[in-house]
Structure 1
Amino acid sequence: DKLLGSMMRRAENRTKDKAIGTIRSLQAQLRLLTGSCRTLLDARARGVDSLAAISSIDWERLGTAVVDAELLIAPETIDRTAELIERQRSLRSVIGPFLNAFQFRGAGAVQGLLDAVRLVADIYRTGRRRLPDKPPLRFVPPSWRPFVLRNGVVVRAAYELCVLTQLRDRLRAGDIWVAESRQYRAFDSYLLPSATFDAMRARGPLPLAIDTDFENFIAGRRASLDTAIERVTILARQGELPQVRLDGNGLVISPLKAITPSDAADMRRVAYDRLPRVKITDLLLEVDSWTGFSECFTHRRSCRVADDRNALLTVILADGINLGLTRMAETCQGATLRQLAHLHDWHISEAAYGEALGRLIDVHRTVPLSALWGDGTTSSSDGQLFHAGGRGAAIGDINARNGNEPGVSFYTHVSDQYDPFASRVIAATAGEAPYVLDGLLYHATGLSIEEHYTDTGGASDHVFGLMPFFGYRFAPRLRDLKDRRLHLLPGQEAGPLLAGMTGDPVAIGHVAAHWDELLRLTTSVRSGTTTASAMLRRLSAYPRQNGLALALREVGRIERSIFMLDWLRDLDLRRRTQAGLNKGEARNALARALFFNQLGELRDRRFENQTYRASGLNLLVAAIILWNTRYLEQAVGALSIPEDVARHIAPLGWEHISLTGDYRWNVESRPDPGQLRPLRTPSSLLAA
């Protein structure tokens, strides 16, 4: 996958360079051609009939220019596929070993491709140089046929590369799977067995948040659509859609106006000035005394807590600030590399990080100040790119959206109380939408999320379709909302004002035909048989109209249409979405400040270690948020800051925290149980 992706990027860049060179060369040829044609036109206008009389034309140069122009305009000279085929020779050393190492399986629809895979594998295994006269060709897409077939002859380089690209796409989608593989399994094997699902349904009810009867479900969505259309139409006619204009000229949504109190920034600065100055090590010790989160990192075999609590916190800190164990052992007195490595191997795990994070968040939710920021029922999620530098650069995927440097993304869910309750590492090239539900479904905290926000990158019709099955309201900030279509149920009318926004009706018959499959899919996700991201990645990878993927898309179109109408009439929904996303972006700024070692780059080759870095960083962020919240509560009370201003003071500041230097664990300086450090007084601020 990465090898083909890298080749395609290089071919794309080479094609762009060739296109620029072609344009420059064509300009030179066109100047000669247009000059010659102008001479011919002038001669005809003067009545000169004989070409021999036109002595100013250099016929030799003209003939050369025509030949050069014909070569330049040939499609193969500036086509990415042609450029890709030219690079096929660099794959010859790996094609044979790769195809012969695995047993590829698939359903009937991909048998032609599987036959081609076996044919190419056999050619490399036996050392033959030519393809048979009639190789399998039904799998070749139309865009590849002009390159694979030249004058009725199959071109081997193009054929092999077409096989590899199609195999990659089918592996992604799940049409083709690999025998004995856990990641590339058959799509059906991810779901609950049919017999188990039927038994669960008969015993009832299914663990889903919707009415599982199809007719009742559709009747409810029809009623919601009718109500939303009626409300938007009435408000639009009265000109009362909040900050929205909807008329015959189209849809215009005005930007949100800030409602932050004018003195919030000043109060934030004053409140943070009162917070004690603290080292990151002292902060972790204090938070650990409140929560006991270090007890979650038990020995993998004996389940005992670590004997040296300070050394364990050193390992966690090394992950969180991206320093690594080797440099941490050099920086932290009293800890050897061997000791830190032993603790990391036997006490650090993803499950332990999740449990420790849950402890921090559950304690944070009990602090009265956190209730000013939200009630813990809404959340947002966003990805944060970290470049892959040094020796680890080769493992990173290229992200066209974030630039040409390789890297990975930490995808994090943040509650309305600023708690980062879930985080995972995803490829930089991966779409964010498949991972939105994972954080909501699989976190180890007491949060009960009801409404979730993302930006455009986290939204897709498939995500819209799955959300109601689990009881979540999905409210993304869609960049191109006015260009998206409303999809109504058959027989519904949008009215003249909304007619221009209406697209194709929902294929309700198709949804009905695949309703049982949708219930089996969502029940499998809810019961933990598979993950939402695994299913969404495979469903979104189908290039054809796969039945289940299409049915889920149609359900998503219904939900998105209801959401779009609610977005137009509900100003508070827009404000909540914007506020939620702002909290996630502010959390990312703190994470970037903490993850400062190694130039903020990931230099680890192993995905497991990258995951530990992401989890350690998230745990560190949660610890700082909890510490800040407790002390901000004291500062807000001491300064008598009103609640309507205090809710705009986020617990994400780090100016008062020393993040660098020698990492010493001064247990003696930790406050007594039940006590906090004294706030800084105005006199001490003046002296400082």
Structure 2
Amino acid sequence: MLHAREREITDTLVDLLISTVHRINARADKRVTQELVNAFKKVTGKENILFSIAEAALGAPDDSVRSVVFPAVNGGEQTLRELVHEYKTKGPVYRRTVQTTLKASYTNHYRRGLIELLDVLEFRSSNATHRPVLDALELVARHKDGRVTFYPAGEHVPDHKGVLGDWTDLVRRTDEKGRSKVVRSTYEVCTFQALRERLRCKEIWVVGADRWRNPDEDLPRDFESRRLEHYTALRKPLDPTAVPLIDMLKEAVLRTGCLDGVISVAGTAGSGELPREVLAERLLLAVYADGTNTGIRAISGGEHGHSEDDLRYVRRRYLPVEVARAMATQIANATFAVRRHQVWGAGSSCGRVGLDALRRV
């Protein structure tokens, strides 16, 4: 009884950590969005403004800006100010503002609680790929009582995915002597965000937990020694590349276009997203991994060039439950539409039951 209660409490603490990190992100995003929306005023006719400015400047290149450019713009100087403000409240500036607000919120309120959770939870991973995040947590714990802005010189600061991309410039600063320094508070924010993502995928697990336990415990203890027997009982191949079902799934996707909606919403490479063909391949592999119960880890071992992290990210971001339901319904509808009525009739209770089952997935 005490052991079960301990595991339950551990699960609750992990839930608290995950929800707290999410709350920091959500509140920062909401706060910045409100501030920018209140300050934002869309400027119309940008192309006409640019043409008028260019024409006026070329017509009187030696005169002052105030006497030539401002009169050429409807609204004058104020319109140009609004145009500059609109540009500044979009794109990278927005992301940077969210990140700065998130860091401030973490430092002022949430840090103490998250640090205390590190003292009572023990994190592990069965995959060496995620070792940098665990090393980063150890670094955070070692400096939990420190008041310094930067980590000391000579301290090993592990690089992980959470500190890359848009966060890089905020995590690392260069001093007047050209030395790179890591901002402690920002690094902690990025590390907790990375921890949350990997906990949710069970790439990192917690000692003594139940729901957040080692995923290897979900397998029979003799799974490795009796792998062939278990796969045979499940009617699954040991080699995921030898399964013709992937070709059948690909054909179904191409014929029904069930992934088109997901890909179009995700965007294109030009907007900072994955290229359409790469996203389509990863979505197909993720659907196959779940639909056949083969699993992401096994599928990632194929010769397709997509890592386990890539597939898990795409599944998590682009394949929520409602999207999976819509895709299943679309494939089922297409199947019912092309079946031969001479054989199956105009309709059947079996077909309706099957479609209802898909909608309940």
Give the shorter-chain TM-score range. 0.5 to 0.7
1:27 aligns with 2:55: no
Cα deviation digits, residues 514-537 of structure 1 (max 9, x gap): xxxxxxxxxxxxxxxxxxxxxxxx
CA distance in 1 between partners of 2:348 and 2:102 (Å):
45
CA distance in 2 between partners of 1:462 and 1:74 (Å):
35
The size of the alignment, in residue pairs, is 275
Q: 1:117 is matched with which residue: 115, 118, 137?
A: 137
Change (3 A) 1:574 1:144: farther
CA distance in 1 between partners of 2:92 and 2:142 (Å):
33
| 1:81 Cα offset (Å) | 3.5
| 1:117 Cα offset (Å) | 0.6
1:41 aligns with 2:55: yes
Change (3 A) 1:64 1:136: same
Aligned residue for 1:544? 310
Q: 1:50 is matched with which residue: 60, 63, 67?
A: 63
Amino acid at match of 1:75: P
Correspondences of 1:386-535 after superposition (within 5 Å): 460-466=287-293, 510=302
Cα deviation digits, residues 194-232 of structure 1 (max 9, x gap): x45534856x89433x375769x847x59x959x98xx9
Correspondences of 1:209-248 after superposition (within 5 Å): 210=235, 218=243, 221=245, 225=248
Amino acid at match of 2:20: L
| 1:110 Cα offset (Å) | 2.0
* Paired residue secondary structure (2:158): coil
Aligned residue for 1:384? none
Give the gaps of 5 or more residues in structure 2. Answer: 1-17, 175-179, 259-285, 316-327
Correspondences of 1:291-370 after superposition (within 5 Å): none
Cα deviation digits, residues 369-428 of structure 1 (max 9, x gap): xxxxxxxxxxxxxxxxxxxxxxxxxxxxxxxxxxxxxxxxxxxxxxxxxxxxxxxxxxxx
What's the TM-score, normalizing by structure 1?
0.32
Aligned residue for 1:91? 110
Correspondences of 1:72-221 after superposition (within 5 Å): 72=89, 75-79=92-96, 80-89=98-107, 90-106=109-125, 107-124=127-144, 126-130=145-149, 131-133=151-153, 135-139=157-161, 140-151=163-174, 152-193=180-221, 195=222, 198-199=225-226, 201=228, 206-208=232-234, 210=235, 218=243, 221=245
* Paired residue secondary structure (1:49): coil
Amino acid at match of 1:207: A
Q: Is the 8 A contact 2:25 2:102 kept in 1?
A: yes
Q: Is the 8 A contact 2:56 2:68 kept in 1?
A: no
CA distance in 2 between partners of 1:178 and 1:169 (Å):
14
What's the TM-score, normalizing by structure 2?
0.55
Amino acid at match of 1:101: V
CA distance in 2 between partners of 1:54 and 1:65 (Å):
19
* Paired residue secondary structure (1:10): helix
Amino acid at match of 1:115: D
Amino acid at match of 2:203: D
Cα deviation digits, residues 313-342 of structure 1 (max 9, x gap): xxxxxxxxxxxxxxxxxxxxxxxxxxxxxx
Q: Is the 8 A contact 1:85 1:158 kept in 2?
A: yes
Change (3 A) 1:225 1:55: closer
Change (3 A) 1:9 1:40: same
Change (3 A) 1:128 1:579: same
| 1:71 Cα offset (Å) | 5.2
| 1:16 Cα offset (Å) | 3.1
CA distance in 2 between partners of 1:94 and 1:38 (Å):
56
Aligned residue for 1:271? none
1:11 aligns with 2:37: no
CA distance in 1 between partners of 2:358 and 2:333 (Å):
23
Percent pairwise identity: 19
| 1:165 Cα offset (Å) | 0.8
Give the gaps of 5 or more residues in structure 1. Answer: 233-245, 254-458, 470-506, 512-541, 550-559, 588-688
Amino acid at match of 1:11: A
Correspondences of 1:225-304 after superposition (within 5 Å): 225=248
Which shifted more, 98-107 or 10-19?
A: 10-19
* Paired residue secondary structure (2:225): helix
Q: Is the 8 A contact 2:123 2:206 kept in 1?
A: yes
Q: Is the 8 A contact 2:130 2:204 kept in 1?
A: yes
Change (3 A) 1:569 1:128: same
Cα deviation digits, residues 486-545 of structure 1 (max 9, x gap): xxxxxxxxxxxxxxxxxxxxx89829xxxxxxxxxxxxxxxxxxxxxxxxxxxxxx6335
CA distance in 2 between partners of 1:148 and 1:21 (Å):
29
| 1:104 Cα offset (Å) | 1.8
CA distance in 2 between partners of 1:3 and 1:43 (Å):
54
Larger Rg: 1
Cα deviation digits, residues 539-576 of structure 1 (max 9, x gap): xxx63357xx9xxxxxxxxxx99979745533768974
| 1:120 Cα offset (Å) | 1.1
Change (3 A) 1:57 1:163: same
Counting strand residues as a fraction of each chain, which structure ranks higher? 1
Change (3 A) 1:14 1:576: farther
| 1:178 Cα offset (Å) | 1.9
Amino acid at match of 1:156: R
| 1:18 Cα offset (Å) | 3.7
Counting helix residues as a fraction of each chain, which structure ranks higher? 2
| 1:97 Cα offset (Å) | 0.4
Change (3 A) 1:12 1:580: farther
| 1:163 Cα offset (Å) | 0.5
| 1:464 Cα offset (Å) | 1.6
Cα deviation digits, residues 268-323 of structure 1 (max 9, x gap): xxxxxxxxxxxxxxxxxxxxxxxxxxxxxxxxxxxxxxxxxxxxxxxxxxxxxxxx
